[in-house]
Structure 1
């Protein structure tokens, strides 16, 4: 049975997920699903005091991403229209494990599994990674006020958490292709050849197996 392409782009904060997603969406004529970030009213407080505001922050993200995926399932994937998202819903667990206290995490995990049990799952993953210096530089350049207080130590931990998550993801989902991109070596914003290289990898996966455009 052929699957409608549903591509998710993931990686730590500042790595360029949205920028790449936009370019891929334009090239392959896919619907772009962008995560809600700055609209989260707790995010600025979260970076000031993670312990105090982590549960509210993570619950807001979870509920909004659930609603987004529900809409995408009804209006696009359900109608055989291809989608690329600049996040994977599983990222919620990456952040929750890092920031929530044990009892909070147990409650959060229960809610997460209930909400995501029947949500559409991507059939291709693009994983962007980059050095801590590159991430910090890009966060500074884009100048989001809510991100100005991100600590380098928190970002480094998050980067390691993502690497662990992606390694586990590939083991648990051998049928879902993962395209890994080194953001230090490939500049898909300024270098067209680098972007073409990534687009070619995506196209090869689209032509394989059961994923069709």
Structure 2
């Protein structure tokens, strides 16, 4: 098994797609985008009935695990989100009451069992973005499912992502991370900022 070169993690509308596209072009990496295998329409069911939270999240966890295994076969991939970030959503749904304590423990047992079979990535790039910027981007792009989730959900998810870095440091072994503030760094039109970011990323990736 090889090692995944880079994972880009961040909440919805934090700039993951823009960052992944930039990194793949400039560093010559192949993109393995986030994939949803949802044959039972669990995401739609969840939006209408929160009791579908556990089967939906278990499905996504297994899908992301399989995707990570595929990416780890060659040391040339950048992933848009991964199995490591999946726990953020499970923890959020537990706090919101969508999971019972026993259901959350079932999820964690599977999560830790799967991660025990993975080689950690070389680096996880964590995108941080101010909540108001995230909300404005969600409103501006106007996707029906995102708008239907409601502002309270996005506020709760934004808060949940605040615990992601400490979680990665607690993994055994700890996973190397790099933080990028996509609210203040323009990766579209600011060439100087782009070059500085890529230089830092190259150094961290070796």
TM-score range, shorter chain: 0.7 to 0.9
Aligned length: 199
* 1:191/1:150 CA distance change after superposition, 3 Å: farther
Q: How does 1:21-170 map to 2 (within 5 A)?
A: 21-37=20-36, 41-49=41-49, 51-74=50-73, 76=74, 81-99=75-93, 100-170=99-169
- CA offsets, 1:158-204, max 9 Å, x none? 22221112134236578643221112211212323322221111012
RMSD after superposition: 2.4
In 1: Cα distance, 2:110 partner to 2:4 partner = 27
In 2: Cα distance, 1:168 partner to 1:117 partner = 16
Unpaired runs of 5+ residues, structure 1, are 208-213
Q: Is the 8 A contact 2:8 2:16 kept in 1?
A: yes
Unpaired runs of 5+ residues, structure 2, are 94-98
In 2: Cα distance, 1:155 partner to 1:39 partner = 22
* 1:21/1:177 CA distance change after superposition, 3 Å: same
Query: By how many angstroms is 1:101 displaced?
Result: 2.1
In 2: Cα distance, 1:65 partner to 1:104 partner = 19
In 1: Cα distance, 2:103 partner to 2:71 partner = 29
**DSSP 3-state at the match of 1:190:** coil
Q: Give the TM-score taking structure 1 as reference length.
A: 0.82
